[in-house]
Structure 1
Amino acid sequence: MSVAGFDEEFDVVVVGAGAAGSAAALAAHQADTAVLVVEKCDEATAGGNTRVSGSGWWVNRDPERARTFLRSLNGAYPVADDVVEAWATETAEISPWLKELGADVAMSGDYHTAPEYLELEGSDCYAGMDTVEGRMGNGLLHGFLCRALAERGIETRFDTPAVELIVEDAAVVGVVVEGAGGRRRIGARGGVVLATGGFAADSQMVRDYLRVEDHVLWGSPASTGDGHRMAQAVGADLWHMDNMMTITGVRGDDEFGHYLALWNANNYLWVSGDGRRFVDEAAEPKHGHINRGGAYELFPLRPFHLIFDEQMRTAGPLSPTPDVLPVGWNLLMKGSRWSLDNSEEVAKGWIARADSIAELAGIIGVDAATLERTVEQYNAACSAGHDDQFGRDPGTLGSVARAPFYVLEVAPLLGWSNGGPRRDGRARVLDTRGDVIEGLYAAGEVSSTYSWCKDGGFHIGDALAFGRVAGRDAAARA
């Protein structure tokens, strides 16, 4: 044991082995410092949401316009100017940096070829999305980062959760971890980088901060808010803890959900607990937000029901197969597959079948006359070619008229949380007075930059960018 009371000591200790943690470790190593990565999961499940994400990062063609775009996306919830500056500058350097490390970087030709928020000022900075090998998902980015760490001799200790930050003279100087040999105190001369992911898998935090009562999980079950609690314990302030991304999902046999994409046909409508439509079902989901009533709002926040007919059932799977969209814990880690004609899900009881709309109403416990009237009004809008009630795009108006009819419960599929310990443009965590907590850094989903809207490839881009910033700054302190 060292004189300072540590069992061992490094220049930089990184907590978490996802995109942010890997980027921090690689950047610190490039600065010729001794780095250790500690990861609470085993090697087979490590990597957080990065491992099961689309694995792409947005291409920033113009940092100056990117500053404007981020401010437009944040809207009424601004982040500090130094954070905007660092984000705009650093995201433009991701692809060149990864290429230097040996990654086969290529732009995706199928996904996120244009900004989702095209109408916002500054969106012209968005040039598309880069990925490893030009392909989405399949853990390709995670795999490359693991190889990059190993090739450089950067140690990653799996099954080693961090449980407490060590503070001396108001500065973070190390971390306590648990492992096979019990608890160990690891010193960090330059600093500790928290890259522990979000809190989507902690149901209490989800209810407290996101106000989502009933959700299913898209990503890693290890996203339990560990870094949030460690940072709060040493006085960290928090930012935009109520921001997140949910998408439409279906509950399977456990806590993990299937993405409900509805890409194959339009013969469906959504109804709430009273049996009535409540929203434009075809409103474009923009990474957690839809445009409703002329403003962006989080969606979905609570369960509702999908009503569809035989035309829809036979048109193709309601949830994408991995050859189309290889993302999510269910597909990539559990090997779950949705049947091509939705028949297996009917057999499992995930989808209920009925010969009439009135019978469907009885299944979901709503007034039969109300649900029949709702479907009749929707079908009339389809026949007329315009939806006066919610303004659904005429090209997406497909009647629900061919028996048998079907219903399933749609649950918020929680992709990630955004909020966490507040940090500055150097990824340094700030306390409740706005002062820097020396030696403590945060990057990635534990402290995402995005206070409101975000575009395709933004989360991985943010994680890689501020992971690099954190690793460099911590190395400089050492």
Structure 2
Amino acid sequence: MHLTDNLKWNKEYDVVVLGFGGAGATAARFAADNGASVLVVEAAPYGHEGGNTRYSAQHVAMGHDKEKISTYYHELAKPYNVSEKTMDAYLDGFISMPEYFEKYLDTKAFVWSRDNKPGDQLDEKAHLCEYPEFPGSETFDFALMHNRDFDAALWKKLRKNVLDRKDQIDIWLNSRARNLIQDDQETVVGVVVERNHKKYFIHAKKGVVLATGGFENNAQMQQDYLHVTQLTPLGTLYNRGDGINMALEAGAKLWHMANYESLGIVPSYVIAEGPGKQGRQVGGWKNMKSGSIFVVGDDGTRFMKEDAKFRHGHIYNHGQYDLPRAFDNAWIIFDEKQYQKFVEERDNGQLKYQKLFDKIIAVNGVNELAEKTNLPVANLEATIAEFNEFATNRKDVKFDRAPESMVALTGDQLYAIKLAPAVLNTQGGPEHDEHSRILNVANEPIAHLYSAGELGGMCINRYQGGGNLAECLIFGKIAGENVANETALESVELTNEVPEINDLVAGEEISNIELGENQYIGETEAGIGGRIVVRVTYQNNTIENVEVMENHETEGIGAVAIKELPGKIVAANSTDIDAVSGASTTTRALEEAVEKAIKQAK
């Protein structure tokens, strides 16, 4: 929207950062370090902030040789055009990543190739690079906060960096930016923020940084840009394409809109969870891709190599790596033999997805299977017969699935699980230059408007893991420094000025938790979602009760662990208990919080 004479400003900052994930936190920190007063606006409520950075593996891409890593990334982009100056700035950041960790994250980076020794936790994970066949791949590496991943360590450090600068950075959570405000020269001068059903007009003297992530939770944008009906998000539920809408309104040029990444229990698919819920990307599932089991699409026929090695959801397709088609009515089909394998896996504690059996549809015969799944019965019959023929002849003529992974289906007792196509993150958004300035359709910078992170990310074609986190750090720093050094606009008169608000600081307060006799508070930041607060009743060397007063663990495994663990600790009268399967980080964190509470009693 454009500035009008009757617009009433409610608050003024030097810099407004929209989005509080890895990119937004980094931009805010560096803007503050360069003397700016900063407001960060985040749509998620307290405990859910962090964007996709919070949910990621915490692997940050880096490289050891600039020329080689440049060759590798140009191969990843082929056959599409590359913005050479912007790519160069990106890869300069790769080469200096260990120094970045030490100087700005206060830790010596755990560099995979240098520090990973046989027997280390990360030793048996995937290859360093996803495309080792490409020239230059040998120089690719990962930097981590420590020898552990999937524990939100990087996000928690970035979050702390913002909290440490609370005198310069205010945080509005559960608040949604709606519009950018421009003057007659098209300079961005402020933002309209909706908070508690009321609109606030925030003046930005030096500029605005868009760090709102992608459109994983916007079905209409997925239809318009990705040509799919709707994808199930694996990360945050608050990336709704707001930054794209605001950038378009300001006259921005878009790039990389058709590109997105995925994961899955089979390539790019997860168990269907229903609208508005996160998909589950979990380990285990050793029987999901091998045996008397296959996947079908909308017409009841197979459409993928179920056991394919995939690269962020992409599987080999005639010389390229593409995402399988995103079908709305895809199913896993299997027989009684395969079902008993899942039962055995569950009973041995190997199946990490505890709700699997709630999702299974059991039927007697193909006709009932077709009725329950809304799939054509004739096609299902033909697909089962064809699969059985491939299994018997030890040759999958259609998709070349490994012969040893195929067993013919037998009997009338059949089972099905609904699948949903998944999105880890989208890559598209406004194009930015090497200075993180957003460009308009004439390839000129829009004054006082910057971006960082997955909103208009650097992935053009094939994605290399760790690349999005790297650009959160690299372009977050560039955007924060450059916007803070813009020439400031004149201050404005404020009407109905908003008082100082910092929802992050307010959310950290635990002084309002009531304590009875022999009750003690323990807290830790070691959970996947950050802080866990417990109230422990302890006397006579006995743990009488453990109550979880606050946690931000993810739905599914983490949430299940939070419910189960207090009872286990009380029953054992000890924090030395077995971890909940698939939730070792949450288990360690809760144990640590309880131990801290007990120490106060001694």
Would you say 1:338 and 2:353 are equivalent positions?
Answer: yes
1:105 CA displacement: 4.1
Q: Are 2:454 and 1:445 equivalent residues in the alignment?
A: yes
Name 2:152's counterpart in structure 1.
139
Measured at CA, do residues 454 and 181 of structure 1 come closer, stay the same or move farther in structure 2, by a change above 3 Å? closer
User: Contact (CA 8 Å) 1:270, 1:281: kept in 2 or not?
Assistant: yes
Counterpart position of 2:223: 207
Q: Could you tell me which amino acid in structure 2 is paired with residue 273 of structure 1?
A: D
Report the counterpart of residue 86 of structure 1 in structure 2: 89
Match of residue 399 from structure 2:
390
User: Would you say 1:117 and 2:117 are equivalent positions?
Assistant: no
Match of residue 330 from structure 1: none
What amino acid does structure 2 have at the position aligned with 1:146? Answer: R
Do structure 1's residue 305 and structure 2's residue 331 form an aligned pair?
A: yes
Distance apart, 1:56 and its partner CA: 2.3
Q: Deviations over 1:327-355 (max 9, x none)?
A: xxxxxxxxxx8327x33x2xxxx321134
Taking structure 1 as reference, are residues 225 and 380 closer, same or farther at Cα in structure 2, changes over 3 Å only? same
Hey, what does 1:258 align to over in structure 2?
280
Distance 2:422 2:32 in 1: 37
C-alpha contact (below 8 Å) 1:64/1:88 kept by paired residues: no
TM-score (norm 2): 0.69
Q: Which amino acid aligns with 2:174?
A: D
Are the equivalent residues in 2 in contact too, given 1:77–1:452 (CA < 8 A)? Answer: yes
The answer to which structure, 1 or 2, has the higher relative contact order (CA under 8 A, 6+ apart) is: 1
Q: 2:190 aligns with which of 174, 199, 207?
A: 174
Q: TM-score, normalised by structure 1?
A: 0.86
Match of 1:230 in 2: 246
Name the structure 1 match of 2:317: 292
Unmatched tracts of structure 2, length 5 or more:
113-121, 263-267, 488-602
Equivalence map 1:346-385=2 (5 Å): 350-357=359-366, 359-368=368-377, 370-385=379-394
Residue 328 of structure 1 is matched in structure 2 by none
- State the match for 1:193 in structure 2: 209
The worse-fitting range, judged by mean Cα deviation, of 419-428 and 398-407 is 398-407
TM superposition shift of 1:223: 0.9
Distance 2:242 2:155 in 1: 21
CA distance in 2, matches of 1:315, 1:95: 45
The C-alpha deviation readout for 1:286-334, integer Å capped at 9, x for no partner, is 11421112222222422322112344334459999xx999xxxxxxxxx
Q: Which moved more, 1:52-61 or 1:464-473?
A: 52-61
* Counterpart amino acid of residue 412 in structure 1: P
Give the C-alpha shift of residue 17 in structure 1: 0.7
> Quick check: 1:73–1:454 contact (8 Å CA) kept in 2?
yes
CA change 1:184–1:274 in 2 (3 A) is: closer
CA contact (8 A) 1:83 1:425 kept: yes
**Quick check: 1:38–1:156 contact (8 Å CA) kept in 2?**
yes
* 2-structure distance, mates of 1:389, 1:94: 44
The structure-2 alpha-carbon separation of the partners of 1:339 and 1:180, relative to structure 1 and needing over 3 Å to count, comes to: closer
Q: For 1:460, what is the secondary structure of its paired residue?
A: helix
Equivalent position to 2:176, from 138, 145, 161: 161
- Once the two structures are overlaid, the 10-residue window that deviates more, 10-19 or 306-315, is 306-315
Q: Is the 8 A contact 2:256 2:456 kept in 1?
A: no
Q: CA deviation at 1:392?
A: 1.8
1: distance between equivalents of 2:368 and 2:380?
A: 10
| C-alpha spacing 1:201/1:369, structure 2 compared with 1 (3 Å) | closer
The alignment-based identity, stated in percent, is 30
How large is the Cα RMSD of the aligned pairs? Answer: 3.0
Shift of residue 104, structure 1, vs aligned partner:
6.6
Q: Give yes or no for contact 2:15–2:484 (8 Å, CA) kept in 1.
A: yes
Shift of 1:428: 0.8
SS of the residue aligned with 1:163?
strand
Question: Is 1:47 matched with 2:72?
Answer: no
Instruction: Give the superposition deviation at 1:366.
Output: 4.0
Aligned partner of 1:96 in structure 2 is: 99
**Closer/same/farther in 2, CA of residues 103 and 184 from structure 1, 3 Å limit:** farther
Take 1:318 and 1:439, find their aligned partners in 2: how far apart are those partners?
A: 59
Q: Which residue of 1 aligns with 2:550?
A: none
Distance 1:302 1:365, change over 3 A: closer
C-alpha contact 2:20 2:50 (8 A) present in aligned 1: yes
Note the 1:400-415 alignment, pairs <5 A: 400-401=409-410, 404-415=413-424
User: 1:450 Cα shift?
Assistant: 1.0
Counterpart pick for 1:422 among 431, 438, 459: 431
Matched letter for residue 61 of structure 1: H
CA change 1:165–1:70 in 2 (3 A) is same
Cα shift at 1:401: 4.0
The equivalent position to 1:22 in structure 2, one of 22, 25, 48, is 25
Pair 1:148 & 2:164 matched:
no
Instruction: Give per-residue Cα distances to partners, 1:125-182, cap 9 Å, x unaligned.
Output: 322x333333222433222211111123333222332222222322223323233595
Q: How far apart are the structure 2 equivalents of 1:319 and 1:90?
A: 44
Q: Does 1:219 align with 2:219?
A: no
Q: 1:176 to 1:422 in 2, by over 3 A?
A: same
Assess, with a 3 A threshold, how the Cα gap between structure 1 residues 38 and 361 changes in structure 2: closer, same or farther: closer
Question: In the aligned structure 2, how far is the partner of 1:46 from the partner of 1:103?
Answer: 23
Matching residue's letter, 1:163: R
Does the aligned pair in 2 maintain the 1:287–1:453 contact within 8 Å?
Answer: no
User: Which deviates further from its counterpart, 198-207 or 138-147?
Assistant: 138-147
Q: Whose Rg is larger? A: 2
1:398 deviates by 4.4
Task: List alignment gaps of at least 5 residues for structure 1.
Answer: 326-336
Gap change, CA 1:114 and 1:244, over 3 Å in 2: same
Q: For residues 201 and 447 of structure 1, what CA distance do their matches in structure 2 show?
A: 16
Once structures 1 and 2 are overlaid, which stretch shifts more, 357-366 or 231-240?
Answer: 357-366
Displacement of 1:53 in angstroms is 2.3
Deviation larger for 273-282 or 100-109: 100-109
Q: Quickly say closer, same or farther: Cα 1:387–1:47, change in 2 above 3 A.
A: same
- What is the letter of the counterpart of residue 481 of structure 2? R
Match of 1:174, SS state, is strand
Q: Distance in 1 between matches of 2:340 and 2:219?
A: 36
The aligned residue for residue 504 of structure 2 is none
